[in-house]
Structure 1
Amino acid sequence: MKEYFTLQLKILNRQLTDWGVIPVFGYLIAIAVFIGLSTTLFEKTQYAEYAYILLALSIVTKLAEVSRNEFLKLWYSKSEYFKLRIIENFIIATPFIFFLIFKEKYMSSFLLLIATGLSTLINFNKKPNFVLPTPFSTNPFEFTVGFRINYFLYLFAYFLAFMSISVNNFNLGLFSLIVALLGCLSYYVKSEREFYVWIFSLSPKEFLLYKLKNIIQYSTLLCLPIIVSLSLCFYTKIDIILGFQCLGYLFIFTTMLAKYSVFPEKLNMRFTVVFAFIVWLPPLLIVIIPYLYIQSTKKLKEILT
């Protein structure tokens, strides 16, 4: 098992290096971001501990992917396999558990500890034949594929919206909208194969406009339950709700442009740093969007023409 974790560490270090980040600095940045986001979450809502547990378990359950675990069972005995799964799960859950303890949420940390251990006992031997239906057509594959992967994220966001209405906490509702928008944004982080761009008989300008229409149409569809419910219950703050939704469109559009500005290469750490600055200073979008648009059209022209 030692060789397995050594290999995983080498893969992670290589990924960070490919992004142009020294691994040690990458880990320090990750720790700082984790602490910062966790602190913000607990400051914004009184139900942060429950959201924290759901978030931790959602990450842990990704380690239970069927083909991955079947491969591990081929190489390790049954006892070694369960030991490996337990160690992996607790590596992921430990930061969340420690932060809950730091916040004196002892019962929640204990529940997360037990749930993390029990998750290794889940049987994933059989692959489900059920294909999750989506409210999207087959053309905007980003949303079709992405929704099937992280549909639980929207269930979580809708749950937060329901809780915000129940306890009359507008900030929690706004956070639920942000969670849904981040889910939509994540679909444009990973680059597709060149073939899925080449098949379009469009100019670069038309292609980007087509993608923008998809972003507005389908992200609105996913966020609509939250927008409507918050608007009805917090009608005096409709302008804030719609403002955040429009800002979400811009951030998703910016991510999409960034992806095609380096296409077919992957987004690197430089974009992550720039994106962090944009989040803290949204007016930078006025400069970033035109620049990324020009770079995207140049890259797409090589493929679409």
Structure 2
Amino acid sequence: MINYFQLQFKMLNRQLIDFGLALLIAYIVIPCVFVLLSSYLFSKTAFAGYVYILIAWSFISKLNEKARNDFLKSIFDKQKYFKLRIIENLIFATPFILFAIYKQEILIALILITSPLFLVVFNFNTRLNFTVPTPFGKKPFEFTVGFRNTFFVFPFAYLLAFIAVKVSNFNLGIFAILVIGLICCSYYSKIENEYYVWNFSLSPKEFLLKKIKIALFNFTLLVIPAITLLSIFFFDQVDFIIGSILLCYAYLVMVIYAKYVSFPNDKNLTHGIIVASTFIFPPIILIVIPFFYFQSIKRLNTILE
């Protein structure tokens, strides 16, 4: 197990060097940037703690990829696998936990400490013996597969919207919309086979546009119950509802472009840091979207043309 973490550490160092950062500088700058962005987030919204949890979970969820965990299970016995995955999750959660403690957000810190443990258990034991119906077609696959893995989140989000109306808490309703948006964004973390992309027989621009149209339509379909409820009871704040929807649209566009920046390989550490920074400081998404767009077009040119 120690050898596994040593290997992961060496791979991380190699990625930092490939990015052009000296290791000493990287291990000083990255924590400083994390603290600055975290401080900015907590200074701008009362719901920073909830957003913080979602960001931490988004990092941890990257460790739940089925093929990766199946490989680990083939190497380690059940007990060692559990220990390894718990340690991994806690390593990813530790910066968020420490900052939450610094901000005296004890409840947030406790959630961040305990949730990685439950995420490991859930990932290890969950097996669906039935096919969950979806309102989406089979192509492309992202929403169909993603919805079946996260269908239980949507009743929770709709319940939050209902509670928001019940207690006249508009911010809670906006949070429900953002939860749905974040879940939909997570659907584009899975990289498909190169042949599947080539099979579209479209230009890179047409391919990305098709993906975006489907993503925006499907997200809208899922969020309609929440925005309808909020629009009826908070009509005077419909502009904020529209703004939250547009923000989710922007993030969906960004993650679609980000998915194909390194295709058919997974996103590297650099791209992951860039995406994560947009969740902490949303305005930079206006720069990130065109950057990822041109990079993804360049990458897809080698496959589609």
| TM-score of the aligned structures, taking structure 1 as reference length | 0.70
Question: In structure 2, the residue corresponding to 1:200 is in which secondary structure?
Answer: coil
The 1-side partners of 2:62 and 2:297 are apart by 36
RMSD between aligned residues: 4.5
Tell me: CA distance 1:296–1:12, structure 2 relative to 1, closer, same or farther (3 Å). Answer: closer
CA contact (8 A) 1:189 1:259 kept: yes
Letter in 2 for 1:6: Q
| Residue 219 (structure 1) shift | 1.3
Which structure 2 residues correspond to residues 45-60 of structure 1 after superposition, within 5 A? 45=46
The 1-side partners of 2:165 and 2:13 are apart by 43
Query: 2:10 matched to which residue of 1?
Result: 10
| Residue 246 (structure 1) shift | 2.7
The 2-side partners of 1:135 and 1:177 are apart by 19
Tell me: CA distance 1:32–1:139, structure 2 relative to 1, closer, same or farther (3 Å). Answer: same
**Unmatched 5+ residue regions in structure 2?**
none
1:279 and 2:279 correspond: no
- Which moves more between the two structures, 233-242 or 162-171? 162-171
Query: 2:169 matched to which residue of 1?
Result: 169
Tell me: CA distance 1:5–1:150, structure 2 relative to 1, closer, same or farther (3 Å). Answer: farther
Which structure 2 residues correspond to residues 82-231 of structure 1 after superposition, within 5 A? 83-106=83-106, 109=109, 113=113, 124=124, 127-151=127-151, 154=154, 157-188=157-188, 191-231=191-231
Identical positions, percent: 45
- Which moves more between the two structures, 217-226 or 103-112? 103-112
1:40 and 2:35 correspond: no
Letter in 1 for 2:10: K
CA contact (8 A) 2:261 2:295 kept: yes
Tell me: CA distance 1:110–1:76, structure 2 relative to 1, closer, same or farther (3 Å). Answer: same
1:256 and 2:259 correspond: no
The 2-side partners of 1:273 and 1:93 are apart by 18
Task: Give a deviation string over 1:19-74, Cα, whole Å, max 9, x none.
Answer: 5555562785367437744773586346x667766876787687677776676566
The 2-side partners of 1:70 and 1:140 are apart by 25
| Residue 236 (structure 1) shift | 0.8
| Residue 301 (structure 1) shift | 5.0
CA contact (8 A) 1:66 1:127 kept: no
CA contact (8 A) 2:86 2:117 kept: yes
The 1-side partners of 2:294 and 2:94 are apart by 44
Tell me: CA distance 1:132–1:42, structure 2 relative to 1, closer, same or farther (3 Å). Answer: farther
Question: In structure 2, the residue corresponding to 1:173 is in which secondary structure?
Answer: helix
| Residue 245 (structure 1) shift | 1.4
CA contact (8 A) 1:52 1:96 kept: yes
| Residue 271 (structure 1) shift | 8.5
- Which moves more between the two structures, 106-115 or 191-200? 106-115
**Unmatched 5+ residue regions in structure 1?**
none
Letter in 1 for 2:130: F
Tell me: CA distance 1:106–1:80, structure 2 relative to 1, closer, same or farther (3 Å). Answer: same
CA contact (8 A) 1:44 1:171 kept: no
How many residues are aligned here?
Answer: 301
Query: 2:304 matched to which residue of 1?
Result: 304
Question: In structure 1, the residue corresponding to 2:183 is in which secondary structure?
Answer: helix
CA contact (8 A) 1:100 1:109 kept: yes
Letter in 1 for 2:198: W
CA contact (8 A) 1:258 1:267 kept: yes
Task: Give a deviation string over 1:158-182, Cα, whole Å, max 9, x none.
Answer: 4543443344232332233233223
| Residue 216 (structure 1) shift | 2.0
CA contact (8 A) 2:257 2:296 kept: yes
